[in-house]
């Protein structure tokens, strides 16, 4: 197989997290009875007119900011005219001439460590179409999705392989879900990606024939689809075969793309400015207000976590869990051991939350109680073994952690004099083992330690005991 | 007979319980029945109107329009009452919602008597493109009533009822008002919510009142204006439009665009307008002839803008969700093609085709966008006149109503009928037709009075002054002139 240079562009649609639809006051919801979230506007009844949901404009401003786009201050909507049963008016209201955001980028880090900017050509606001379900010769239409606000984000053709696509989509998902712009649930269709792939021999050659891959059900499939498509086109070029611009879909079952249709040349959408919606003019104040409400984004969180001593692994894990990360953000200024705090959140606390299917906000773990917990673990008063025994109490009761430990008879001898007293006693009683240890038999210290634990019925702090034991044996 | 009385008199009679709303409703239906051959209505609201009238008997007479019958053009959505737009494609369409104006009529306790005939989807200027046949002019049954609000004009001219709603995209209220000798107002774009007005050309469409006299017209406008959160192009400007009626016109500055008085207009009409100008001057108004740029481009711009928007607005009639649907389609393509081929009439299809062409590919830039920019120039040119003048006047139409059987084979002619009324829509201004006399065949002649944006009250001031001065008998059956 020869080597060709792939050129890849990605178009992503994300549904915005608004209460109501973009052009009517129907509820924006998922998984409800078909056509229950519709009104005469969504259904395109005669004489109905669109209104404009301001929340959508706000989210548009935020998304543009997050994606480092320039924001257009005077914009309008356009009608994209085409006949298809999924669009009730037979035109879609979109932004063709004046997308709200343009000239942006997001940065990805490739597995090689190389950082790469994925350039965003433009992002615009539009309405989602209805969902069609084909049943034999009939097609059923569910207009619940019709009029759900979308933003479409279009990259420049600057991606070069499946990894770029995967990392870009992951980054986009991370940013937009963190920005409270969208759920970005690919499986529910609230994030949808179409990928355009073409090949050419040399950088200086014109771009090759394009294939668009649709119906991609997951980010890993996006990567796989791109790789398969590069392979397919390479084989065709190698055999000196030509092909027409086409739309393909990713088939989950065979793990490959299949032809949907050959693209007709010159799709004529007869765009013109939507006369029912006046121009939208954004003031600096409106933009400022919207930007103010953008929550702290992953990159900033990452930097902050690493700076206060949280490990790489824990940092990434926290960021993958939005709710824990938000919780953790409240503790950034506290004088505590943040690595231990992150261990606790990602360890026993996460285990509890997963098992109980709860969010951390639904537990009794206030900031104050969590700080107490972190400090008790940090100063060895509470061992991890003991913690496991009382984690349910900690997360379900409101008593202080100390009280819970007392209730459960958990005592931890941390008093140095007391520890030393016990250890001295054990050393005196086990001369044989002490001698073994001094002769270099490491096993002996474990035996001595066992004796210490036995003597204290396990209530001695193991780490402190071991340190003291070593000290006394010198 | 009560509907030949003034609204104030009727209101007094209702208040004193000398008559009931049902008397008015029954009289209206009797009138409509007597004038059946005029074909002014597509659907009558008989049962519901009678029921409403009876319900109102127990209610307090709370405003001057209380209990009064009104006719509504059939492109305005009425809940539970068939709304066809005079098209086969909607001839079974019974809406589940009301237009905002209809809600306002109901709030005023007016009674909707029926839905009036019109050009199919308001596309035409003689109402002859109606799927239900054209209405006839009450002054001469062989003549057209004009269009597209021909049915509303007919029922008002015939004195079936006192009030009707029309819609005006390129003269569709004022031109038929002129042909039938009634008062018709197209208010400023944005004055009245378009929610529930089936869109023809969204940037031009406006609902307006059609009445037998100026005062009634202002009363009805009072009832239907206002900002509507369902229509983003509507604006909040509420006022009493009758407030300047009866005021003197001394010192009022009036402009007459030379183009409006050029040889495109029939001599009889020119001379009648000149007579009227004389009356104005004799009574202290200052009248100047002025040049206004771009007026001669109005029809071309209108064709481009209206047909482009229409091609998109009418795309929703596809047989999938409501209205006529082709019975035995083979596939989805067939649903679209056959439903629309059989559902729409010839003129509508022609306009959809031309509009689609105008927006196609690069054409949108060459035609639509260009037209929008010249339209803006024209709007500025007209607005500039108002820097020096209170009002603009001229003839409403170039001829009086022509014969119903005149050929329809020249599609451009129908636009030329509206050459004088279209600039008002292009500029979003308010404009009113006032009857000012008759031609030698006793067909009404109308004058158009155009105001600056949101200055409808000033238009009514001049119109009512002239109405009183001219004191024409505008009842085609020769009845008493009502004031």
Residue B366 pLDDT > 80: yes
Of B195, B232, B309, the CB nearest to A52: B232
Our CA-based measurement puts residue B207 at a distance from the nearest CA of chain A, in whole angstroms, of: 12
**Residues A388 and A427 placed together within one structural domain of the fold:** no
Residues A376-380: contacts with CB under 8 Å, at least 24 apart: A376/A401, A376/A402, A376/A405, A377/A340, A377/A344, A378/A336, A378/A337, A378/A340, A379/A414, A380/A412, A380/A414, A380/A461, A380/A463, A380/A464
* A48 domain residue, yes or no: yes
8 Å CB contact between A261 and A246: yes
The pLDDT of residue A266: 67
**Residues A145 and A190 placed together within one structural domain of the fold:** yes
Residues 6+ positions from A238 with CB-CB distance below 8 Å: A1, A2
Residue of B87, B125, B127, B148 with catalytic role: B148
With CA atoms as reference, the chain A residue closest to B359 would be A270
Beta carbon pairs, A and B, within 8 Å: 98
**Residues A14 and A65 placed together within one structural domain of the fold:** yes
Q: Give the residue among A285, A216, A288 at the shortest CA–CA distance from A256.
A: A216
Residue B482 — very low, low, confident or very high, per pLDDT cuts 50/70/90? very low
| Domains of chain A: total | 3
* A458 domain residue, yes or no: yes
Q: Give the residue among A73, A75, A64, A71 at the shortest CA–CA distance from A105.
A: A64
Set out the domains of chain B in order of their start, with CATH numbers.
Answer: 7-244+429-470 (3.90.1300.10)
- Taking the Cβ of residue B79 and every Cβ of chain A, the question of whether any pair is shorter than 8 Å is answered with no
Residue A292 pLDDT > 80: yes
**Residues A272 and A399 placed together within one structural domain of the fold:** no
Residue A133 pLDDT > 70: yes
Residue A92 pLDDT > 90: yes
The residues in B 90-109 lying below 8 A from A, measured between CB atoms, are 90, 93, 95-97, 99
- Interface touch B312/A91, C-beta < 8 Å: yes
- Interface touch A89/B315, C-beta < 8 Å: yes
- Taking the Cβ of residue B236 and every Cβ of chain A, the question of whether any pair is shorter than 8 Å is answered with no
Q: Which of A259, A285, A311 is at the close of a domain?
A: A285
Residues of A in contact with B370 (CB under 8 A): none
The pLDDT of residue A442: 78
- Interface touch A271/B359, C-beta < 8 Å: yes
Of A47, A270, A277, the CB nearest to B99: A47
**Residues A280 and A424 placed together within one structural domain of the fold:** no
- Interface touch A275/B308, C-beta < 8 Å: no
8 Å CB contact between A37 and A158: no
Residue A459 pLDDT > 80: no
DSSP classification of residue A27: B
- Taking the Cβ of residue B418 and every Cβ of chain A, the question of whether any pair is shorter than 8 Å is answered with no
Of A48, A90, A277, the CB nearest to B318: A90
Residues A28-35: contacts with CB under 8 Å, at least 24 apart: A28/A148, A28/A149, A29/A144, A30/A144, A30/A188, A30/A190, A31/A188, A32/A144, A34/A140, A34/A142, A34/A144, A35/A141, A35/A142, A35/A143, A35/A144
* A290 domain residue, yes or no: no
**Residues A19 and A50 placed together within one structural domain of the fold:** yes
The pLDDT of residue B414: 72
For an interface test with A, give the residue of B72, B321, B356 to mutate (most A CBs within 10 A). B321
CATH, residue A443: 1.10.10.410
The pLDDT of residue B410: 80
Residues of A in contact with B97 (CB under 8 A): 40, 45, 48
For an interface test with B, give the residue of A272, A273, A280, A281 to mutate (most B CBs within 10 A). A272
Our CA-based measurement puts residue B89 at a distance from the nearest CA of chain A, in whole angstroms, of: 12
**Mean pLDDT computed over B227-231:** 97
**Residues A381 and A307 placed together within one structural domain of the fold:** yes
State pLDDT tens for residues A264-285: 766 789 999 999 999 999 999 9
Give the Cα separation of A421 and B416 in Å (integer): 113
CA angle A6, A223, A320 (to 5 degrees): 130
Distances (CA, A) of B323 to A93, B327, B339: 23, 12, 10
Residues of B in contact with A85 (CB under 8 A): 320, 332
The pLDDT of residue A472: 82
8 Å CB contact between B77 and B198: yes
* A336 domain residue, yes or no: yes
Of the given ranges (A230-234, A378-382, B290-294), which has the lowest mean pLDDT? A378-382
Question: What are the backbone angles phi and psi of residue B261, rounded to the nearest 5°?
Answer: -110, 20
8 Å CB contact between A165 and A131: no
For an interface test with B, give the residue of A49, A52, A130 to mutate (most B CBs within 10 A). A49
The pLDDT of residue B480: 47
Q: Would you call A321 helix, strand, or coil by DSSP? A: coil
Q: Which of A254, A285, A316 is at the close of a domain?
A: A285
- What DSSP assignment string belongs to A162-230? HHHHHHHHHHHHHHHHHTTS----GGGTSEEEEEEEEEESSTTSPP---EEEE---SHHHHHHHHHHHH
Average pLDDT, chain A: 92
Residue of B126, B127, B152, B172 with catalytic role: B172
The pLDDT of residue A1: 63
**Residues A331 and A423 placed together within one structural domain of the fold:** no
Q: Give the residue among B159, B180, B6, B156 at the shortest CA–CA distance from B73.
A: B156
Catalytic-residue membership of B148: yes
Which residue range(s) make up the domain with A424?
416-473
Residue A79 pLDDT > 70: yes
Q: Which of A241, A262, A285 is at the close of a domain?
A: A285
Residues of A in contact with B336 (CB under 8 A): 83
Residue B238 — very low, low, confident or very high, per pLDDT cuts 50/70/90? confident
* A291 domain residue, yes or no: no
DSSP classification of residue A295: P
- Interface touch A270/B312, C-beta < 8 Å: yes
- Taking the Cβ of residue B311 and every Cβ of chain A, the question of whether any pair is shorter than 8 Å is answered with yes
With CA atoms as reference, the chain B residue closest to A52 would be B232
- Interface touch B197/A51, C-beta < 8 Å: no
A34: how many CB neighbours lie within 10 A of its CB? Answer: 14
Catalytic-residue membership of B115: no
8 Å CB contact between B145 and B178: no
Query: How many residues does the structure list for chain B?
Result: 483
- Interface touch A46/B317, C-beta < 8 Å: yes
- Taking the Cβ of residue B289 and every Cβ of chain A, the question of whether any pair is shorter than 8 Å is answered with no
Residue B483 pLDDT > 50: no
- Interface touch B96/A43, C-beta < 8 Å: no
- Taking the Cβ of residue B197 and every Cβ of chain A, the question of whether any pair is shorter than 8 Å is answered with yes
Helix (H) or strand (E) holding A247: strand A246-251
Residue B423 pLDDT > 50: yes
Our CA-based measurement puts residue A248 at a distance from the nearest CA of chain B, in whole angstroms, of: 22
Residue B352 — very low, low, confident or very high, per pLDDT cuts 50/70/90? very high
**Residues A313 and A361 placed together within one structural domain of the fold:** yes
Please tell me the pTM assigned to this model: 0.90
- Taking the Cβ of residue B336 and every Cβ of chain A, the question of whether any pair is shorter than 8 Å is answered with yes
Residue B250 pLDDT > 90: yes
Residues 6+ positions from B266 with CB-CB distance below 8 Å: B398, B399, B400, B439
**Residues A333 and A206 placed together within one structural domain of the fold:** no
Our CA-based measurement puts residue A280 at a distance from the nearest CA of chain B, in whole angstroms, of: 11
- Interface touch B361/A139, C-beta < 8 Å: no
**Residues A312 and A434 placed together within one structural domain of the fold:** no
Q: Give the residue among B354, B122, B233, B235 at the shortest CA–CA distance from A274.
A: B233
Our CA-based measurement puts residue B168 at a distance from the nearest CA of chain A, in whole angstroms, of: 15
State pLDDT tens for residues B156-167: 999 999 999 999
Our CA-based measurement puts residue B99 at a distance from the nearest CA of chain A, in whole angstroms, of: 8
Give me the percent of chain A exceeding a pLDDT of 90.
75
State pLDDT tens for residues A315-367: 999 998 989 999 999 999 999 999 999 999 999 999 999 999 999 999 999 99
- Interface touch A43/B77, C-beta < 8 Å: no
ipTM of the complex: 0.96
Helix (H) or strand (E) holding A36: none
**Residues A307 and A267 placed together within one structural domain of the fold:** no
């Amino acid at each position: 197989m020869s080597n060709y240079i792939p050129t890849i562009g990605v178009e992503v649609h994300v549904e915005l997290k608004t209460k109501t639809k973009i052009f009517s006051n129907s509820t924006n919801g998922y998984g409800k009875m078909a056509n229950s979230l519709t009104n005469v506007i969504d259904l395109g009844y005669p004489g109905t007119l669109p209104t404009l949901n301001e929340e959508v404009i706000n989210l548009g401003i935020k998304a543009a900011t997050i994606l480092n786009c320039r924001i257009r201050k005077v914009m309008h909507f356009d009608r994209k005219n085409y006949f298809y049963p999924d669009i009730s008016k037979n035109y879609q209201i979109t932004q063709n001439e004046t997308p709200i955001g343009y000239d942006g980028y997001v940065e990805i880090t490739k597995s090689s460590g190389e950082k790469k900017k994925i350039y965003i050509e433009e992002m615009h606001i539009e309405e989602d179409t209805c969902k069609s379900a084909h049943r034999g010769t009939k097609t059923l239409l569910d207009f619940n999705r019709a009029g759900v606000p979308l933003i479409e984000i279009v990259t420049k053709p600057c991606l070069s392989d499946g990894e770029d696509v995967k990392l870009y989509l992951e980054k986009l998902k991370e940013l937009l879900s963190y920005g409270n712009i969208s759920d970005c649930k690919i499986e529910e269709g609230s994030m949808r990606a179409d990928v355009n792939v073409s090949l050419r021999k040399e950088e200086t050659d014109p771009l090759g024939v394009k294939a668009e891959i649709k119906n991609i059900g997951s980010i890993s499939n996006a990567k796989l689809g791109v790789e398969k498509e590069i392979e397919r086109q390479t084989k065709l070029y190698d055999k000196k075969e030509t092909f027409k611009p086409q739309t393909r879909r990713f088939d989950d079952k065979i793990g490959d793309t299949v032809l949907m249709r050959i693209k007709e040349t010159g799709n004529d959408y007869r765009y013109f400015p939507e006369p029912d919606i006046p121009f939208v003019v954004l003031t600096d104040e409106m933009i400022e207000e919207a930007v103010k409400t953008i929550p702290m984004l992953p990159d900033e969180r990452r930097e902050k976590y690493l700076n206060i001593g949280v490990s790489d692994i824990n940092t990434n894990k926290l960021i993958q869990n939005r709710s824990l990360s938000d919780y953790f953000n409240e503790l950034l200024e506290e004088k505590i051991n943040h690595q231990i705090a992150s261990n606790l959140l990602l360890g026993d606390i996460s285990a509890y939350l997963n098992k109980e299917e709860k969010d951390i906000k639904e537990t009794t773990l206030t900031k104050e109680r969590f700080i107490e917990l972190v400090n008790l673990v940090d100063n060895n008063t509470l061992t991890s073994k003991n913690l496991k025994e009382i984690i349910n109490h900690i997360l379900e009761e409101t008593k202080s952690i100390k009280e819970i430990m007392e209730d459960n008879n958990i005592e931890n001898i941390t008093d140095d004099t007391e520890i030393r007293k016990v250890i001295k006693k054990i050393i005196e009683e086990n001369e044989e083992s002490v001698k073994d240890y001094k002769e270099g038999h490491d096993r002996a210290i474990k035996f001595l330690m066992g004796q210490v634990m036995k003597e204290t019925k396990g209530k001695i702090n193991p780490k402190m005991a071991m340190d003291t034991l070593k000290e006394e044996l010198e | 007979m009560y509907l030949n009385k003034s609204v104030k008199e009727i209101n007094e009679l209702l208040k004193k319980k000398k008559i009931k709303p049902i008397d008015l409703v029954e009289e209206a239906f009797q009138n409509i029945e007597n004038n059946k051959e005029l074909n002014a209505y597509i659907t009558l609201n008989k049962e519901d109107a009678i029921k409403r009238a009876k319900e109102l008997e127990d209610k307090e007479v709370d405003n001057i329009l209380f209990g009064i019958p009104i006719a509504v053009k059939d492109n305005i959505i009425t809940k539970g009452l068939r709304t066809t737009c005079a098209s086969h494609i909607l001839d079974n369409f019974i809406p589940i919602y009301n237009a905002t104006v209809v809600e306002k009529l109901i709030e005023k306790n007016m009674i909707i008597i029926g839905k009036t005939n019109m050009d199919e989807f308001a596309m035409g200027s003689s109402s002859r493109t109606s799927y239900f046949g054209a209405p006839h002019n009450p002054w001469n049954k062989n003549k057209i009533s004009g269009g597209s609000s021909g049915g509303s004009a007919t029922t008002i001219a015939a004195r079936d009822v006192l009030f009707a709603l029309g819609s005006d995209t390129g003269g569709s209220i004022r031109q038929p008002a002129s042909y039938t000798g009634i008062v018709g107002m197209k208010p400023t774009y944005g004055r009245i919510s378009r929610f529930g007005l089936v869109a023809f050309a969204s940037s031009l469409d406006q609902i307006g009142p059609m009445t037998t006299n100026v005062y009634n017209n202002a009363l009805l406008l009072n009832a239907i204006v206002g900002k509507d959160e369902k229509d983003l192009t509507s604006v909040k400007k509420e006022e009493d439009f009758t407030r300047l009626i009866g005021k003197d016109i001394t010192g009022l500055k009036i402009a007459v665009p030379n183009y409006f008085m050029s040889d495109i207009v029939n001599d009889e009409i020119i001379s009648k307008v000149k007579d009227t100008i004389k009356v104005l001057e004799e009574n202290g108004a200052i009248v100047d002839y002025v040049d206004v740029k771009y007026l001669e481009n109005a029809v071309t711009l209108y064709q481009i803008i209206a047909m482009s928007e229409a091609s998109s607005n009418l795309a929703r009639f596809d047989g999938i969700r409501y209205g006529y649907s082709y019975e035995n389609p083979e596939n989805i393509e067939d649903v679209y093609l056959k439903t629309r081929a059989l559902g729409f009439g010839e003129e509508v299809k022609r306009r959809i085709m031309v509009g689609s062409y105008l927006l196609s590919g690069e054409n949108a830039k060459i035609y639509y966008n260009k037209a929008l920019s010249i339209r803006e120039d024209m709007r500025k040119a007209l607005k500039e006149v108002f820097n020096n003048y209170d009002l603009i006047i001229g003839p409403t139409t170039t001829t009086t109503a022509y014969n119903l059987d005149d050929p329809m084979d020249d599609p451009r002619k129908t636009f030329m009928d509206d050459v004088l009324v279209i600039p008002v829509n292009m500029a979003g201004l308010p404009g009113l037709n006032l009857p000012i006399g008759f031609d030698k065949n006793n067909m009404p002649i109308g004058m158009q009075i155009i105001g600056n944006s949101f200055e409808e009250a000033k238009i009514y001031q001049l119109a009512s002054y002239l109405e009183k001065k001219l004191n024409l008998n505008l009842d085609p059956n020769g009845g008493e002139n009502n004031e």
